Amino acid sequence: MQTRVGSVGSVGSLDEGKDPVVTTRTSQSRTLPLRVLQLFGLFLALCIAFSIISIYTIRRFGIYSVVTTVKSNFVPCVEEPNSLDHWRKPPSNLLHSMSDKELLWRASFVPQIEKYPFNRLPKIAFMFLTKGPLPLSPLWERFLKGHEGLYSVYIHSLPSFNAEFPPSSVFYRRQIPSQVSEWGKMSMCDAERRLLANALLDISNEWFILLSESCIPLYNFSVIYHYIKKSKYSFIGAFDDPGPFGRGRYNENMAPEVNVTQWRKGSQWFEINRKLAVNIVEDITYYPKFEQFCRPACYVDEHYFPTMLTIQAPNLLANRSITWVDWSRGGAHPATFGRADITEEFFKRLFEGHQCRYNDQLSSICFLFARKFAPSALEPLLQVAPRVLGF
Ligand SMILES: *[C@@H]1O[C@H](CO)[C@@H](O)[C@H](O)[C@H]1NC(C)=O
Ligand SMILES: *[C@@H]1O[C@H](CO)[C@@H](O)[C@H](O)[C@H]1NC(C)=O
Ligand SMILES: *[C@@H]1O[C@H](CO)[C@@H](O)[C@H](O)[C@H]1NC(C)=O
């Protein structure tokens, strides 16, 4: 200690360890302590003065200027509540502690100025509603590769399921806080609303696509992105079925909020834009009616969103789904395709012979996704994808 202080006082060298003063210490032993003490006192006074000034500055002008600059040097991913980044960037961690009620409330926030004050690249949110694993994930990985910044991925699975994707995967840490959901019950719509709400927290997500673990994309990313971006309408199935499985499921108790002429049916696999997603998460008008009066054999996931969106925003709906399924084999469930089904012939049949409306014009490109595909279909799918699906 003495040698170090002494060296500063006498030679001004801060070079520790190799101190030339050590040898001459004895000759200066009388004058040194006093000088050292003086210097030490001065140093102490300066420290105290600096501390007082700092504390005063922080209190007076806010902590941010001093504290967060220091902090941000060491912790680069700290959220800055007072910069726009907090609103502009997606949450860094999907695992939040909000209840559904809190989440839906938070997700219902909508800016009142339409033009974004930053360069916003609109993204597609791919929302996977699954029980557990995603057996076709390698196909999706290939589909999404190279399009970072134009998509986000969300997974809702059984809460007990723990996904193990490597950090390089597009599915890594994309699970949202989930709850058990059952087909045909309101818990299924709750899961879909949970997916939408989590995806809405990223302000750049503009289109929201609900998918299952058995879905595959039918075109490459660029084709799908442009098809959706250029569409005037959102793709959700909504038709008026006069039969027992359509209007037959309507319950008079839903009036006056829902009238039988407004009752719609459609597959649950939708693509909707941000506005419709907000309509769904903020809904407190129709939800209680469907919850109470649409129970099996009224399958609420086939009616709730198509009906409420038809009432609230009929002009934004294409009234058709972009997810292809095969009901031709009959029965209560659509056909599932496995290893033996996946041939170029199969896709030729799948792509041919459709006609639909796209932006009020006739089009032969009607489906962007297809289901259902078994895990055994993965290998042949990966093989035919470059030639048949374009990726
Ligand atoms: C249902 O709505 C239609 C159109 O809004 C109306 O003409 C009809 O009278 C209503 N029906 C009932 C039962 O309220
Ligand atoms: C979808 O159906 C609604 C009424 O249910 C209608 O107003 C709307 O024009 C339809 N959309 C298209 C693209 O035809
Ligand atoms: C995507 O598919 C389209 C049509 O098949 C093709 O023209 C285009 O080159 C493909 N894009 C990429 C990036 O492979």
Strands 323-324 and 361-363 turn out to be: unpaired
Q: Nearest residue CA, atom 6 of ligand 2?
A: 314
Q: Is 26 in the pocket of ligand 1 (CB under 6 A)?
A: no
Report residue 207: phi and psi, to 5°: -125, 140
| Closest ligand 1 atom to Cα of 260 | 1
Q: Is 220 in the pocket of ligand 3 (CB under 6 A)?
A: yes
Question: Which residue bears the tokens 């806010």?
Answer: 62
**Ligand 2 mean position to 238 CA, how many Å?**
9
DSSP state of 90: P
Highest mean pLDDT among 12-16, 38-42, 107-111 belongs to 107-111
The pLDDT of residue 34: 65
Q: Is 261 in the pocket of ligand 1 (CB under 6 A)?
A: yes
The pLDDT of residue 329: 85
Angle at 90 between CA 84 and CA 94, to 5 degrees: 140
Residue 82 has pLDDT above 50, yes or no: yes
Q: Which stretch of 13-27, 125-139, 151-165 has the lowest confidence by average pLDDT? A: 13-27
The pLDDT of residue 41: 66
Q: How far does Cα 188 stand from its chain's mean position?
A: 19
List, in sequence order, every residue forming a beta bridge with 262; answer none if it has no partner: none
pLDDT digits (tens, 9 = 90+) for 278-316: 999 999 999 999 999 999 999 999 999 999 999 999 999
H-type alpha helices, 68-185? 69-74, 85-88, 100-107, 137-144
Q: Which ligand is nearest to the CA of 255?
A: 1
Say whether 380 sits in a helix, a strand or coil: helix
To test ligand 3's pocket by mutation, which of 148, 219, 223 has the most ligand atoms within 8 angstroms of CB?
Answer: 223
Q: Is 135 in the pocket of ligand 3 (CB under 6 A)?
A: no
Q: Is 73 in the pocket of ligand 1 (CB under 6 A)?
A: no
Q: Nearest residue CA, atom 6 of ligand 1?
A: 261
pLDDT digits (tens, 9 = 90+) for 185-212: 999 999 999 999 999 999 999 999 999 9
Q: 9, 39 in Cβ contact below 8 A?
A: yes
Q: Which stretch of 16-20, 156-160, 248-252, 325-329 has the lowest confidence by average pLDDT? A: 16-20
- What does 179-237 look like in DSSP terms, one character per residue? ----TTSHHHHHHHHHHHHHHHTSTTEEEEEEEETT-EESS-HHHHHHHHHT-SSBB--
